[in-house]
Structure 1
Amino acid sequence: MTEFHLDSIESSSSFVTTPQEKPHWWSDDGNGWQDSYTARQRIFANGQQEITISKEKHFIGREMLPLPVSKRGTSEKRERNEADAGRRAKKNVRLCCKEINADRLVTLTYRENMTDRDRALKDFKAFVRRVGKVKDFHYVAVIEQQERGAIHFHVAVHGRQSYTLLRSIWQSIVGLGQTGQQMGQANVRDPHKFGFGRNGAHKLAAYIAKYVAKEMDCRDINQKRYFRSRGIVLPEVNTWRISSTDMLGAVQTAFAVAAEFGLDGVQTWCNNALQTVWLATAPRSGPPVNLCPF
């Protein structure tokens, strides 16, 4: 894997390497809230990367007293806290999928209108345990409830899967109906089925992550939004401040950092109102391409 050459990028993009010192663009005495752009980068084991650059406020001065914390579930800002938790869960699902290099999506469904969350989770745990006895099974799973109440699972995995094995295990757990029909089904799809193409495995992570943010009536405050196998360790975040003072400079910096590993299958998202740019790439398949469209 190519080493992250921070020195060379800093020289070309005017990075601030000593954030504890007062940057030249601050016009006051350095005390109080200061606005600056902060860059964050994650590099995954297979070469994928995510880069976020956003404008943030940093407090320079005496430490402020901590705000009181409400008991779980009693905050007056419950709806906003739930929305924030949903965004964090969505981000974690996406990152975990990239870390295991998920490139297949397994969907576990019921023939009947399954609305019992406890029973569904019990079935899913049995499925994971039995598959794990046959093969190494690393996964990131999301439970989804449709408008009619039916529950099913989306499971992101890596590599070719034995459809016959997964289907037989799931059907044996769910059981037969009164007339002897199978009451469970398992389907496996690869990135090509989603139209993502050869370098689109990293887009599968965003696809499954969207289910986490959906409102689920069956979910109480202490119920999990997603599930993952043990041993998934996310890469550390490289964080630094940059000297750009506008969004154009932030976008150019994001592409300059990403070009260190290549821009294969690049995905971008930019919001001028939020002063944030996000960039994600697929594993590099050839020589790095150092191109920025801005």
Structure 2
Amino acid sequence: MTLRIIDGTAYERKRLDNQFKVKTTDLGNGHEETVITQGWEWVERSDMTPFAIQMAAECIEKNRNDPKAIEEREALNKERSAKRAKKAVRQLCKVAGADTLMTLVYRSNQQDLALCKKHLKEFVRRVKRVIPDFVAIAAFEQQDRGAWHVHMACRRIATVLPGADGIRMKSFNVLRAIWRSVTKEHGGNVDVSRRKQTSQRSAARIANYISKYIMKAFELGEKHSNRWTKFGDVTLPQSKRLGDFSTMQEAVAMVLGRQPEGSEIVNCYLSRWQDVFYFVVEKSSA
């Protein structure tokens, strides 16, 4: 039971059994994410006496200052922040139409995250000299040995790129040379993996791959430290409300029935308590 005491009146948060809200986000490139959530409302507890309300208020205040409760709230807030960041990264990858995975690693045991971010920013600045419309969403991960590396979801990296002397070279060699010119004595390497015609690696799967590191980064990272970043002109669209339904079954039927033609289901699940339904589609690769 969740209680709030406002101006001496107690309110309890309750689920609305007859309200299921449906929102969808069109991320472009054939990607769409739809979420059904059960409605909630704060209901006045008219059955509580003034004494009971006072006791509840004292209990809430005591819990607010309890060290264990504070620790639990901080952990919960951290988890919520991680989920928001994970969602943003996942959706940005889809909006960008990411079709390439790139990983930047150090040869040395470089454990300074601030330096890694500085190197990444300079790397992207130099990459834009040869790929002016370069777009990437990046997540940081620390290896078991302690060294940092960067996972990047990128869009449209050509097979060949112009090198420093103007001669066209394999993009892998150009990107590796740029990364090493930035990291200098730390050395490093670049792994590039593109989506091929027969590959199962779609923008949605790339998005899931990149976003999974966000939760890990929040678990291990320092408080208030950025765990991801983006480069290029890519922004998130606004979600659209599709309406309210009296039952989860009705809402799910509507969502499944409006699946765009030529799309395939990437992810679909119903929460344990049947209060959230998540549905993701993308343009079919067939």
TM-score tier after normalising by the smaller chain length: 0.7 to 0.9
Compared with structure 1, are the counterparts of its residues 215 and 46 closer, same or farther at alpha carbon in structure 2 (3 Å cutoff)?
A: closer
Unpaired runs of at least 5, structure 2: 1-13, 45-60, 65-69, 159-170
Aligned partner of 1:130 among 112, 116, 126 = 126
Q: What amino acid maps onto 1:197 in structure 2?
A: Q
Q: Which residue of 2 aligns with 1:115?
A: 111
Task: State the secondary structure of the residue aligned to 1:213.
Answer: helix
Gaps spanning 5+ residues in structure 1: where?
1-31, 62-67, 178-182, 287-294
SS at match of 1:214: helix
> Are the counterparts in 2 of residues 108 and 187 from structure 1 also a CA contact under 8 Å?
yes
How far off is 1:176 after superposition? Answer: 4.2
Return the alpha-carbon distance in structure 1 between the equivalents of residues 256 and 264 of structure 2: 12
Which residue is 2:252 aligned to? Answer: 251
Larger Rg: 2
- Report the aligned-residue RMSD: 2.9
Greater Cα shift, 229-238 or 138-147: 229-238
Indicate the residue corresponding to 1:38 in structure 2: 21
**Residue 160 (structure 1) shift:** 3.2
Q: 1 or 2, which has the higher strand percentage?
A: 2
CA distance in 2, matches of 1:115, 1:166: 22
Amino acid at match of 2:269: W
Decide whether the 8 Å contact of 1:42 with 1:49 is kept in 2.
yes
**2:31 equivalent among 33, 41, 48:** 48
* Structure 1 range deviating more: 38-47 or 263-272: 263-272
Moved more, 107-116 or 159-168: 159-168
Among 180, 183, 202, the residue aligned to 1:171 = 180
User: Alpha-carbon deviation of 1:239?
Assistant: 1.3
Q: What is the letter of the counterpart of residue 193 of structure 2?
A: R
Task: Tell me, yes or no, if structure 1 residue 150 matches structure 2 residue 151.
Answer: no
Q: Determine whether 1:101 maps to 2:86.
A: no
Relative to structure 1, is the Cα distance of residues 227 and 215 closer, same or farther in structure 2, using a 3 angstrom cutoff? closer
Identify the match of residue 204 of structure 2 among 195, 199, 202. Answer: 202
Per the normalisation by structure 2, the TM-score is 0.73
How much has 1:209 moved relative to structure 2? 0.4
Q: How does 1:1-294 map to 2 (within 5 A)?
A: 34-35=16-17, 36-58=19-41, 77-135=73-131, 136-161=133-158, 162-176=171-185, 183-191=187-195, 197=200, 200-215=202-217, 219-246=221-248, 248-257=249-258, 259-284=259-284
SS in 1 for 2:268: strand
Amino acid at match of 1:173: V
The answer (yes or no) to whether the contact 1:102–1:201 under 8 Å persists in 2 is: yes
SS at match of 2:130: coil
SS of corresponding position for 1:186: strand
Instruction: Tell me the SS of whatever aligns to 1:231.
Output: coil
Counterpart of 2:16, as a letter, is: Q
Deviation at 1:185, TM superposition (A): 0.1
Q: How far has the Cα of 1:102 moved from its partner?
A: 0.4
1:47 to partner: Cα distance = 1.9
Paired positions, count: 237
Residues 1:133 and 1:97: Cα distance change in structure 2 (over 3 Å): same
- Counterpart CA distance in 2 for 1:218 and 1:279 is 30
Instruction: Mark the CA change 1:265 to 1:191 in structure 2 (over 3 Å): closer, same or farther.
Output: farther
**SS in structure 2 opposite 1:44?**
strand
Letter in 1 for 2:105: T
CA distance in 2, matches of 1:81, 1:59: 21
Q: Cα deviation per residue 1:205-241 (whole Å; 9 max; x = unaligned)?
A: 0111000010467732221111001421212211143
